[in-house]
Amino acid sequence: MTAEIVETVFVENSSLQEIKIGTAVKRAREAIGMTQAELANKTNKSLDTVKKIESGLRVTQWTVVAEFSHALGISADDLLGIETQIPNRTTRNQAEQAVRTLLSYFGENPSREGLVDTPRRFVDAYQEFLAGYADDPVSILSRTFEEVEGYQDIVLMRDIRFESHCEHHIQPMIGTAHVAYLPGARVVGISKLARVVDAFARRLQSQETLTNQIANAIETALQPRGVAVLLEAEHQCISTRGIHKTGVACVTRAVTGEFQTDTKAEERFMRLIGK
């Protein structure tokens, strides 16, 4: 695990930095028969901290995710992924009924003409917004090419528009992703980078998790010399409710390998994306 957020610029909403791994840690620990005390020892945390994390306390630092994934011998992606991949056993009817319940709660009459088909449309819309759970980003990147005439320079796809939804309010997070890598032996069709962004964006997300998941998937699938991902997004839960601040961009970045160790590579990436 090499990806980490090296620079997180948050404007006025620190709660967005939360990353949740409690269920995943507990499951992974029990699967290998490790006690909470042993896990505490391996991660240099107190037993109390391990208990709190497992009981659903949210971990705010990416480094904590990396420490736990290392101690448990699973990838950080798996640790972050389990929580979002819990199978949905709710039926379509139940889902539509839940929308009717919400409509009544807010003072509407779900049976009035204009709202009769709204639950169906709502569920359809969200199935589309959250379609990324069905995608496997690493397999999207699995078809690679080695014949590139020795091309070794940066491969960059910039200004990839993405639409995601924040996991805290289920409100749109809309923005732009810039994704680059320095090829090792293999390259991938460039449009696949945009597909990977979509596969992770179409889930309930925090922007930090999204950033790291994109970087990790490229790292895992291509084993490049380095990956750089920068996301800028506006969160509607900030612009249309709460503090009502518009035009606030939340910027997150993940760099690995040469982008992390070589200042020039990192500077070129920032320059190429116009930063």
- Residue 168 binds Zn ion (CB under 5 A): yes
Residues pairing with 7 in the sheet: 253
Distance from C-alpha of 199 to C-alpha of 81, rounded to nearest angstrom: 13
Q: Do 211 and 162 contact (CB within 8 A), yes or no?
A: no
Please give the residues from 199 up to 258 whose contact with Zn ion meets the rule CB under 5 A.
237
Structure tokens at 76: 């950080």
- Residue 169 binds Zn ion (CB under 5 A): yes
- What is the 8-class DSSP label of residue 56? T
| Residue 54 C-beta: closest distance to Zn ion, Å | 25
Total number of residues shown for the chain: 275
| Residue 169 C-beta: closest distance to Zn ion, Å | 4
- Residue 166 binds Zn ion (CB under 5 A): yes
Residue number, 206 or 212, with CB nearest to Zn ion: 206
Binding segment toward Zn ion, per CB under 5 A, in 88-96, 100-108, 111-119, 163-171: 163-171
Residue number, 35 or 240, with CB nearest to Zn ion: 240
Distance from C-alpha of 6 to C-alpha of 267, rounded to nearest angstrom: 14
| Residue 229 C-beta: closest distance to Zn ion, Å | 21
Residue number, 103 or 173, with CB nearest to Zn ion: 173
Provide the 3-class DSSP secondary structure of residue 10.
coil
- What is the 8-class DSSP label of residue 59? B
Positions in the binding site for Zn ion (CB under 5 A)? 166, 168-169, 237
